[in-house]
């Protein structure tokens, strides 16, 4: 009933119903796909949407995704603005326009439905749309009965507060989670795994956190990375943990453009 048709690093789950529902559009094996009437996007990171434009061209599906993720996917100026804000806050040097052009997807030849939550009626399937932020701002889970498609919950994260809410949601679900990477697993089990990873990562940040701009903490956690996309994602996560530590009273942040972090305890 549910097949993985991903042909690259990420999973593409395909519901083998007559209308054809595909979850995410990484690189896929076309010969294993029947009809595709719907594409449900868990988030818009490059590795999960690389075949979206081609699939839209070929099948003319309805594409459903979170409004924030679709904006980042389609609006290159908005994406560039966000990248610039992250780089500026972190005190890092990054060509936001070049990176945004590299990772955005051209306009889709498809109907696009923006949904942050609620229910979507997909002919043969009634899907519950659940906010699952943390890995990206608009990350979305899709639940069909005892199955929930969760996309990517792993590092690097953009918001620890959202991630914590997502893990609470998954802990309470009696469902098998189909992730964007790896094998299906009980939703509760997946939540526990990510919770463990979160604890270890927070510890690493506490060791690394430095007085000064966030980029210094990022360099300590990730090492120097030359690849702009990986660098950007590292900066996003660093800001997320600094935000968490501000809430916990571990650090203070001052400065209106670039954050100046100072350790309190």
Q: If you search the block for the tokens 């009626």, which residue do you land on?
A: 121
Stretch that binds Zn ion, among 18-26, 43-51, 95-103, 238-246 (CB under 5 A): 43-51
Residue 91 backbone zone (phi > 0: left; psi -120 to 50: alpha; other: beta):
left
Closest separation between CB of residue 125 and Zn ion, Å? 24
Closest separation between CB of residue 45 and Zn ion, Å? 3
Closest separation between CB of residue 26 and Zn ion, Å? 10
Report the candidate in 159, 164, 166, 153 with the shortest Cα–Cα distance to residue 246. Answer: 159
**24 part of the interface to Zn ion, by CB under 5 A:** no
C-beta closer to Zn ion: residue 79 or 251? 79
Q: Give the single-character DSSP code of 257.
A: S
C-beta closer to Zn ion: residue 50 or 152? 152
Residue 107: Cβ-neighbour burial (10 angstroms; 0-12, 13-18, 19+): exposed
**45 part of the interface to Zn ion, by CB under 5 A:** yes
C-beta closer to Zn ion: residue 152 or 237? 152
Helix (H, G, I), strand (E, B) or coil at 89: helix
* Distance of alpha carbon 181 from alpha carbon 197, whole angstroms: 15
Stretch that binds Zn ion, among 14-22, 42-50, 53-61, 237-245 (CB under 5 A): 42-50
**233 part of the interface to Zn ion, by CB under 5 A:** no
C-beta closer to Zn ion: residue 9 or 111? 9
Stretch that binds Zn ion, among 59-67, 76-84, 150-158, 170-178 (CB under 5 A): 150-158
Closest separation between CB of residue 135 and Zn ion, Å? 6
Q: Which residue is nearest to Zn ion (CB)?
A: 45
* Distance of alpha carbon 247 from alpha carbon 213, whole angstroms: 18
C-beta closer to Zn ion: residue 153 or 250? 153
Q: How many residues sit in the footprint of Zn ion (CB under 5 A)?
A: 2
* Distance of alpha carbon 226 from alpha carbon 212, whole angstroms: 21
List the beta bridge partners of residue 161: none
C-beta closer to Zn ion: residue 13 or 259? 13
C-beta closer to Zn ion: residue 59 or 72? 72
Please provide the DSSP assignment of 150-191 as one string. Answer: EE---SSPS-HHHHHHHHHHHHT--SEEEESSS--EEHHHHH
Chain residues 103-142 in contact with Zn ion, contact rule CB under 5 A: none
Q: Are 242 and 261 within 8 A, CB to CB?
A: yes
Chain residues 152-171 in contact with Zn ion, contact rule CB under 5 A: 152
Q: Report the interface residues with Zn ion, using CB under 5 A.
A: 45, 152
């Amino acid at each position: 009933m549910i097949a993985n048709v991903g042909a690259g690093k990420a999973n593409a789950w395909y519901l083998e119903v007559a209308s054809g529902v595909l979850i995410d559009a990484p690189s896929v094996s076309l010969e294993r796909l029947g009809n595709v009437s719907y594409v449900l996007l868990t988030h818009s990171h490059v590795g999960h949407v690389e075949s979206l434009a081609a699939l839209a061209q070929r099948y003319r599906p309805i594409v459903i995704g979170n409004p924030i993720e679709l904006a980042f996917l389609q609006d290159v100026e908005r994406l560039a603005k966000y990248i610039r804000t992250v780089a500026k806050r972190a005190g890092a040097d990054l060509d936001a326009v070049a990176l945004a052009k590299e990772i955005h997807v051209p306009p889709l030849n498809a109907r696009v439905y923006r949904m942050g939550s609620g229910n979507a009626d997909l002919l043969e399937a009634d899907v519950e749309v659940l906010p699952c932020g943390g890995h990206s701002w608009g990350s979305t889970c899709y639940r069909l009965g005892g199955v929930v498609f969760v996309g990517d919950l792993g590092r690097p994260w953009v918001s620890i507060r959202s991630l914590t809410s997502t893990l609470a949601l998954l802990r309470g679900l009696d469902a098998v989670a189909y992730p964007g990477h790896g094998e299906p697993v009980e939703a509760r089990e997946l939540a526990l795994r990510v919770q463990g990873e979160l604890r270890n990562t927070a510890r690493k940040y506490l060791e690394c956190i430095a007085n000064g701009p966030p980029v210094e903490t990022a360099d300590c956690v990730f090492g120097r990375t030359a690849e702009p996309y990986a660098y950007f994602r590292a900066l996003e996560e660093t800001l997320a943990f600094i935000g968490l530590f501000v809430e916990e009273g571990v650090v203070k942040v001052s400065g209106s453009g670039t954050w100046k972090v100072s350790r309190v305890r």
